[in-house]
Chain A
Amino acid sequence: MAGSRFHQPSVLPGFGLTFGFTTFFLSALVLLPLAALVFMAASMSWGELLRVVTSARAVGSYRLSFGASLLAASINLVFGFVIAWTLVRYRFPGRKLVDALIDMPFALPTAVSGIALTSVFAQNGWIGRYLSLLGIQVAYTWIGVTVALTLIGMPFMVRTLQPAITEVQRDLEDAAETLGAGRFYVFRRIILPTVLPAMLTGFALAFARAVGEYGSVIFIAGNIPRKTEITPLLIVIHLQEFDYRGAAALGSVMLVMSFVVLLTINLIHTWGRRRLVAAAC
């Protein structure tokens, strides 16, 4: 019966409708623009393309963009976990406030956080003043870029980890403790395996966000070619010179590299899950 489809035991009825929307939005908002980008880059000759994407300036920017992003995501992996753990496990005054603060980098225009970070970490800033005494310069170096990217990626990590940590029941730790396990052992063998999938997801999200970040970085980076110039900035520079095809070429490289990194994380993810299932057979 045709009508029976609407009596399916699902909260949202109409598979056809929802699937249609999904396909449409993905195509219109993601696939088509990306295709246009690749198409634009493809209109260049191979030689010209290679020259643009392998120029010393471009290579330097890749290294900074992807290196700093990976580093920032790794920092978030550790400290995001600590923050999420604190928020889930402990009840302390002002917990709600801290919880709300986590989302601030989401809401703030990235340029604002960039300017704020710069003023704090600049040589006469609140923190930069003391760091410069130690000979560490943050603003206008790759360290500054990493700091900005860490800030931007942090909410992704915390928000992804929170539900996963909630799932680590106290009982599991208690059980492990009565069986003789010390704290570190419990962490390594019980807590970490349980939250690892969420950690990978959080890492991927934070990394993806960092690679694409533009607004906050350009204020703190100083934008010295080959040293503190990120790829998105280089693309903007190409655009300002009306070199649309060069911009498209760099964009395509970023697309491919991001895709490779994200795919790798996803593969690790599924591999980990399959290993669990495999162990069961």
Chain B
Amino acid sequence: MSITLDQVTKRYQGSTVVNDVSLDIGDGEFFVLLGPSGSGKSTLLRAVAGLTGVDHGRISLHGRDVTHLAARHRGVGLVFQNYALFRHMSVADNIEFALRVRRMRAAERRARRKELLRLVALEGLDDRLPAQLSGGQQQRVAVARALAHKPEVLLLDEPFGALDAKIREELRRTIRKVQRELGITTVLVTHDQEEAFALADRIGIMNLGRLLEVGRPDDLYARPATRFVATFLGAANLLLARQSSRGLSFGSEPVIIPHHEGAPHAREHEVVAVLRPEEIELAPARDALASPYMADGAVEEILFSGALERLRVRLGNGTAGAHVVRSDDGAGEPYLEVTRTQHEQRLFPVTVGQPVALGVRRLHVLPTPLSSFVACAPTEALADALSREPWLTQLAARMKTRIAVRVEPALGTAASPQTEGETAASAAGARFIGIATGVEPAAASAGADCVEPAARAAVAELSPHAAFAGAAVIAARQETGVVRSVEWLLARGVEEVLILPERTAAPRRVLIHWMDECARRATLAVSASLLRHVPAEAVYVDILPEHGSPEAARPLGMRALLDARSEAQTVHGLDMRTELRYGDVAQELAHRLAERTDQLLILGLCDVADLGGRFAALLARPASPLLIVYRRAETADRAATLGRERPHRAADARLGSQAAPALGGAEPARVRTAGRERYA
């Protein structure tokens, strides 16, 4: 590997700018770090160059650990957005700078300079001053200068940012050519996806300091794993859909689209589907579609843009509630973005207002366990208030999903969770509130005003008996007590419950812990999904019982930590810190949570009895948000039955030698089978 990053973390004034980034870049690879401004990509590049120190993690170049090595000893070439040429030196002096530093002889210097100028197609401009060159020429000089000392790695920080479109393309070609010719490992940072597509062997997409996904450009475009990547790389319609063994359906009217991607799920559940605008087919009627029918709609807007026609189609026949996200603007109405080629336009010309049938040629389902949120409260006012909690609305906006409101009077009464009879009657009404997806943190923090009136109007009434979909959200202040409410929700098929205290502070640290091995997989998946949208550092906390012999338990505990980390990495592309503690689980977690308020705990369980039992105190009045991930033991990951008992739970009785071999045998196989399941 040419460049290896291991859990690189950089904090700046309390916020984490680069968050646990681990990455391997191969020899001669052209790697593009893509992300919006402020995503930490430039900081990461500077860390590789050695211009910024890191707070955590390691950086290796060609197998040599350079984490604490000064920039000048790292052997990298760096090209800046603003060229950073030495203005008082001629082109020749600029290029020869690195050679002069190394005391190379004049004749050799000149030969190398000529060679480099030929490489970047600037022969004969040796004696010019930078000020006498155009922007494109200056950047070519900067590239030549960065290559002069034959670095092993070339780093480019938004090198085309200050250039106009034509020059940009020309320079792009030059850089690609130079890179191929020299076979030099190259990392380029950009916010321009077109640039990334044009140059990259592989792209790594960053947001909020995290490296979300890494892959070949076509792979990332066709099969993104996260909502952010789906919408950042090209335009995408994100829709909430229900997936069952038969396929996908949008909204309340069952329209089944056969769907072969991903693992089939036995139980019907909510998923997020990605529809690229070019994969949607329009036809005058359902029968005329060549691809599977999805919905009816009406053309709302037509925009001609050269080769492509861009349309907005309003969805009809009950699918409106399914639509959440528009690719660019946050206007309240549920539109579908469609692009059509000239050929398609000629086959079926449309006008504004025309009813059309929509078909889907290709569709990708994001493997996300957190599809949407449902704010649950005994009264409408309380549920409304909960759905407007600033941190929640911010999270939902980042996740490009919605917060539905569900009134559950049962949450207000002291009913026992065991009384099944009231289930059907309890759901007095449920509706969806479209969340303006353009809402950014600043707007979201404004609180109650962040949900636009237009968005609030886009409410789809759901059948009161509709099953729960998405993660339930409840307030931490409950008359019936948090434990009761969570138990009640879990009994009704909810798998994730988010407990929000009033005025939740945006968490800076996320603690992850699961009680039982059967909740491990789900907890990791949910954690990964959440952490992609929260700029917080993740710590997996494992807790060993204090009694017995901690000395013997220690290697097992460490092993569990490493396993958890490697699974998070390989399966979810999420990197996290690990921590081993000794003591009572609930007490240790409460301890850790008490340290500061800006934390969030993700707790995985398989046994509902734990809630009222050992976690009663923790749940009594939580000061920080809590996300409970519940998986019924029998339906949960088969891994539990593969013989892997959670070592230290078993340890109470038989700690030590017996558990170890089982551990080693089961682990690699599982990681491989789960290989493609990266969660959004």
A residues in contact (CB < 8 Å) with B: 169, 171-172, 174-182, 185, 189-190, 193-194, 276, 279-281
Identify which of B71, B82, B128 contacts A171 (C-beta below 8 A): B82
13 extra interface residue pairs, beta carbon distance < 8 Å, beyond A177-B70, A179-B146: A174-B46, A175-B80, A175-B86, A177-B51, A178-B72, A178-B74, A179-B77, A179-B98, A180-B73, A180-B101, A189-B86, A193-B88, A276-B129
Question: Smallest Cβ distance from B189 to chain A, in angstroms?
Answer: 14
Tell yes or no: B329 within 8 A of A by CB: no
Question: Smallest Cβ distance from A206 to chain B, in angstroms?
Answer: 24
Question: Smallest Cβ distance from B83 to chain A, in angstroms?
Answer: 8
Question: Smallest Cβ distance from B91 to chain A, in angstroms?
Answer: 10
Bound-state CA distance A190–B100 (Å) is 13
Identify which of B72, B82, B127, B132 contacts A180 (C-beta below 8 A): B72
21 contacts between A and B (CB under 8 A): A171-B80, A174-B46, A174-B78, A174-B80, A175-B145, A176-B86, A177-B50, A177-B51, A177-B71, A178-B51, A178-B76, A178-B78, A179-B98, A179-B149, A180-B101, A180-B149, A181-B97, A190-B86, A279-B127, A280-B90, A280-B128
**Contact, CB under 8 Å: A181 / B88:** no
**Chain B: interface size category:** 20 to 34
For B82, B88, B128, which residue has the most chain A Cβ atoms within 10 angstroms? B88
Q: Which residues from B are CB-within-8-Å of A280?
A: 90, 127-129, 132
Question: Smallest Cβ distance from B573 to chain A, in angstroms?
Answer: 30
Bound-state CA distance A180–B100 (Å) is 10
Interface set, chain B 43-82, CB cutoff 8 A to A: 46, 49-51, 70-74, 76-78, 80, 82
* Nearest residue, chain A, Cβ from B128: A280
Interface set, chain B 104-140, CB cutoff 8 A to A: 127-129, 132
Q: Which residues from B are CB-within-8-Å of A189?
A: 86, 97
Main secondary structure of the interface of A (DSSP, over half): helix
Bound-state CA distance A24–B149 (Å) is 59
Closest 5 CB pairs of A and B: A179-B98, A171-B84, A175-B84, A178-B78, A280-B129
Tell yes or no: B506 within 8 A of A by CB: no
**Contact, CB under 8 Å: A182 / B72:** yes
Asked whether A178 and B127 contact (CB < 8 A) given A185-B101, A190-B86, A193-B88, the answer is no
Tell yes or no: B102 within 8 A of A by CB: yes
Bound-state CA distance A133–B80 (Å) is 55
**Contact, CB under 8 Å: B101 / A179:** yes
**Contact, CB under 8 Å: A169 / B84:** yes
Q: Which residues from B are CB-within-8-Å of A194?
A: 87-88
Question: Smallest Cβ distance from A189 to chain B, in angstroms?
Answer: 8
For A172, A176, A178, A280, which residue has the most chain B Cβ atoms within 10 angstroms? A178
Q: Which residues from A are CB-within-8-Å of B128?
A: 280
Tell yes or no: B148 within 8 A of A by CB: yes
* Nearest residue, chain B, Cβ from A175: B84
Bound-state CA distance A82–B46 (Å) is 27
* Nearest residue, chain B, Cβ from A192: B88
Question: Smallest Cβ distance from A7 to chain B, in angstroms?
Answer: 31
**Contact, CB under 8 Å: A179 / B72:** yes
Bound-state CA distance A176–B86 (Å) is 9
**Contact, CB under 8 Å: B78 / A279:** no
Q: Which residues from A are CB-within-8-Å of B101?
A: 179-182, 185
**Contact, CB under 8 Å: B77 / A178:** yes
Q: Which residues from A are CB-within-8-Å of B50?
A: 177-178
